């Protein structure tokens, strides 16, 4: 995806990335310039962020955030003041950027991968699809060594039961809200939340109703969508292993990593937001 945005951005003659890096360098070592920048924003009655973001050449998708930090609302409004020829040139460049991004994605994404196409049936809206049974069987056969022939047959039967199962709307919908214009929006739960609710259904004897389907879906959902989590782990370890802590053992590093992940998950990245009950105080 980053390479796609790179292909789109560099097709124009705007040189946005060079401008963003030059501007960041201009403010980096000058507190006076930063202060003047904020004061100027206050004089124009605009909210201005104190720091100009640094553009990393391997994170092209984030270029939009860097540009948003630089441009003000007045700058965006100034597009209306351009001449007709300049407007045509501007929007032609924008069109070329999006066309280049789409062309790159079309040629590099695995759009013809039948396994990935079949995975769409795990979405709640596809459970009654007539083609879903064949798709779930193909998925089960595609993953080597996961399901036996007998389990494949059970998978077919379990999907039939799942397709007519009564599903509570609260398993799908997280919340509904109206925006400032009165339009209704629906926020849905993550797919793993939904399937966790489905797998909580049990038979009369207390055994799971969809044991084979659960085995397959859980193995599918743990497939990584990319390497972002791995790279994020490298960054975290880089923050842990500072010059003063080079003698940490592997056990200590894993412990610090677990604490960091716990704070991210339980406290949204802030230690003071982590709730500690009486059990932890006693121990």
Interval 169-193: pLDDT, tens = 999 999 999 988 888 999 999 999 9
What pLDDT score does 160 carry? Answer: 94
pTM assigned to the model: 0.58
pLDDT-derived band at 216, boundaries 50, 70, 90: very high
Is residue 50 over pLDDT 70? Answer: no
pLDDT-derived band at 45, boundaries 50, 70, 90: low
Interval 108-149: pLDDT, tens = 888 888 998 999 999 999 999 999 999 999 999 999 999 999
Query: Average of pLDDT values for 252-275?
Result: 84
Query: Average of pLDDT values for 226-254?
Result: 81
Residue 184: strand pairing partners: 178
Rounded to whole angstroms, how far apart are CA atoms 29 and 35? 12
Domain boundaries, given as residue ranges, for the chain? 2-108, 118-221, 228-282
pLDDT-derived band at 215, boundaries 50, 70, 90: very high
What pLDDT score does 264 carry? Answer: 83
Rounded to whole angstroms, how far apart are CA atoms 65 and 45? 21
Is residue 275 over pLDDT 70? Answer: yes
Lowest mean pLDDT among 36-40, 50-54, 207-211, 265-269: 50-54
């Amino acid at each position: 995806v980053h390479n796609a945005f790179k292909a789109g951005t560099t097709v124009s003659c705007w040189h946005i990335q060079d401008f963003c890096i030059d501007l960041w360098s201009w403010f980096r070592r000058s507190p006076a310039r930063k202060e003047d920048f904020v004061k100027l924003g206050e004089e124009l009655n605009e909210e201005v962020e104190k720091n100009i973001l640094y553009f990393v050449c391997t994170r092209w998708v984030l270029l939009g955030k860097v540009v948003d930090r630089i441009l003000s609302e007045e700058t965006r409004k100034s597009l209306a003041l351009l001449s007709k020829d300049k407007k045509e040139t501007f929007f032609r460049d924008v069109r070329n950027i999006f066309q280049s991004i789409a062309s790159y994605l079309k040629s590099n994404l695995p759009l013809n991968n039948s396994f990935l196409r079949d995975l769409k049936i795990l979405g709640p809206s596809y459970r009654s699809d007539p083609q879903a049974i064949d798709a779930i069987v193909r998925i089960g056969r595609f993953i080597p060594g996961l399901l036996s022939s007998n389990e494949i047959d059970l998978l077919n039967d379990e999907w039939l039961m799942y397709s007519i199962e009564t599903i509570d709307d609260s398993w799908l919908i997280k919340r509904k809200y109206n925006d400032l214009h009165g339009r209704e929006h629906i926020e849905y739960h993550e797919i793993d939340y939904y399937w966790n609710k489905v797998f909580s259904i049990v038979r009369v004897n207390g055994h799971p109703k969809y044991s084979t389907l659960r085995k397959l879906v859980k193995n599918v959902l743990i497939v990584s969508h990319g390497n972002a989590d791995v790279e994020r782990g490298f960054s975290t370890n880089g923050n842990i292993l500072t010059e003063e802590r080079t003698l940490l053992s592997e056990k200590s590093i894993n412990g610090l990593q677990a604490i960091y992940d716990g704070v991210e998950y339980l406290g949204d990245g802030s230690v003071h937001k982590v709730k500690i009950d009486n059990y932890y105080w006693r121990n």
